[in-house]
Structure 1
Amino acid sequence: MTTKQREITTDEASKIELFVKASVDGGSVGNCPFSQRLFMILWLKGVHFTLTTVDMKRAPHVLKALAPGSQPPFLLYNDDVKRDTNKIEEFLEEKLAPPQFPKLCCRYKESNGAGEDIFRDFSRYVKNPNPAINEQREKKFLSTLVKLNMYLETPLPHELDQNPNATVSSRLYLDGDTLTLADCNLLPKLNIVKVVCKKYRDFSIPTELKGLTRYLDNAYEQEVFRRTCPMESEIFAAYESVAQYLK
């Protein structure tokens, strides 16, 4: 178990420690979209916290006592252990609230569900060993990307308030021009999709999907996303036993 500390701003009233999946070497951050999601949330909140990478193969007894039977990610807030990712997100949004910390929830409920079916169809696509149904799986997966692209290209109400004649959105992210909880959930999954599809299917997200391409380009420019991503080798290691090369 390795501990790293991310210095952002100091919040002396609370002690926050995020436990995330460790890499294969046991030191750096491993491949886990749920861990990255919470890492991004804490970073965006601008709170002082400790990041602890956990190698579950060599987890110390103190960790077993802290969260017996749990898998990362989980959160230690003062002396209270939180284990469910969705509940941790809700807890952090409630506890780390304005005016001291930024609000990260979406203004539009539709943003929360954008891209929600991508990871499911991606998994079916890359885990399929049968060339005969590869085209079918790819089309289904591609349709989920197209659906997300349509959402990203459609102007949101506040954009239409500013420009009633707008036909294509120019926003940076799912819900507007700032990263939200919805982005923290979706972007780590899209990064895995991008890396794995290229390796196992020689498939890249089509540049014709301009909204999705713009979204990812904007995300990778942000340190909070780029620096919380696992190394590509970690993603490959996570998928080498389940993703299938087609022969």
Structure 2
Amino acid sequence: MEATWLAILNEKHGVISASALPSGFLRRWTCSRCRHVLPEVPGLSCSHPHTGADGPEAPPPQLPSAAKSLRVTPNTSLSLSGGRVRAPICAPTYRTISTGTMDLGHEPNIELFVKAGHDGQKVGNCPFCQRLFMVLWLKGVKFTVTTVDMKKKPAELKDLAPGTNPPFLLYNGELKTDFIKIEDFLETMLAPPRYPHLSPQNKESFDVGADIFAKFSAYIKNSPNNQYQETALLREFKRLDDYLNTPLPEEIHQNATKNIIVSDRKFLDGNRLTLADCNLLPKLHVIKIASKKFCGFEIPVQFTGVWRYLRNAYERDEFTQTCPADVEIEMTYLNVAGKQK
């Protein structure tokens, strides 16, 4: 069973209410008192604070455990959180939106399909799905995310993308598969001046983490007799750390009067997130969670560049709010690790 996040934007205050719908279809219900569009969740009443003639203000209702709430403020990205629906103040007009700015114009109709978690609804563990989720979020474009339960793939999706596993994407009704091709397509179609380019300036920013996930996979599969694989994994972390601590040409040029020895940039290619980060960060998060759980391995503290990079990444909603829950990662590798701890 797939779940679709339906977001309702309050244009005046930039706050939305949203929930995970079990059907995967965008169906709208309207409050008879204030005409507020309601998410279709059994037993959920209107989240508007009805005041004056409409009666006293009511607290926002508690969502079922499978539901989520979303919040958008103008000119910023959305964030996901569990628990309650945010109660927007009444405004005359609503639109369906997921992320981006208030000026929608003629934006494309985009729907991203990602792997569902073990409950069949929440976002599951899939670095490639998260990669595209981050790309769309960073682009600031309106889009919908639908989680797909691979154990009970709905007939509608079997007809839409036969033989295709997430991630895949509908762009104005046209099916796009292969996450690398999708990423290239989005970078071409969602281009300046309306949308930012996300390609890194330095090719090395893409290359530096190319082998780290493969080394991790070998490491965890051979646990506990994985000393050789651990050495190989640490070698890749050292390579990444050296790159993150080495000033980029742009940093040296911008600080020509200073003798910069160690970089202080936030991300792989500078102080903005790029496609290189969308590729590497989801993998680093999986490595961090699974290695500690099953192998007792933590990224060594002497890798200061790596830890600076991760700390900066965990401060960004585009990354943290697209991450699967830790338990999803742990369940993925439960039967992969040679020894479970």
- 4+ residue stretches of structure 1 with deviation over 4 A? none
Pairwise CA distance, 1:79: 1.5
1:179 CA drift (Å) = 0.1
**How far 1:243 moved relative to its partner?**
1.5
TM-score when normalising by structure 2: 0.70
> Of 54, 79, 88, which aligns to 2:173?
79
Matched AA of 1:176: G
| C-alpha displacement of 1:136 | 1.6
TM-score (norm 1): 0.96
Aligned to 1:2: 3
Deviation string for 1:192-214 (max 9, x for gaps)?
Answer: 00001101111110111000000
What stretches of structure 2 of length at least 5 have no aligned partner?
7-97
Q: CA deviation at 1:13?
A: 3.6
Between the two structures, name the one with larger relative contact order (CA 8 Å, sep ≥ 6).
1
Number of residue pairs aligned between Structure 1 and Structure 2: 245
For 1:100, the aligned partner's letter is: R
In 2, the alpha carbon distance for the partners of 1:89 and 1:174 equals 18
Q: Distance in 1 between matches of 2:272 and 2:223?
A: 40
Query: Deviations along 1:160-185, whole A, 9 cap, x unmatched?
Result: 11224111111100000000000000
| Distance in 1 separating the partners of 2:338 and 2:116 | 24
Residue identity (%): 54
Partner of 1:143: 235
Q: Report the equivalent of 1:220.
A: 314
Contact 1:200 1:245 (8 Å CA) reproduced: yes
1:62 matches 2:156: yes
Distance 2:105 2:201 in 1: 27
Structure with more of its chain in helix, by fraction: 1
Structure with greater strand share of residues: 2
Structure 2 CA distance for partners of 1:11 and 1:81, relative to 1, 3 Å: farther
Once residues 31 and 174 of structure 1 are traced to their aligned partners in structure 2, the CA distance between those partners, rounded to angstroms, is: 23
Q: Deviations over 1:26-83 (max 9, x none)?
A: 1110000000000000000000000000002111111011100000000000111001
2:177 pairs with 1:92: no
Question: Residue 242 of structure 1 corresponds to which residue in structure 2?
Answer: 336
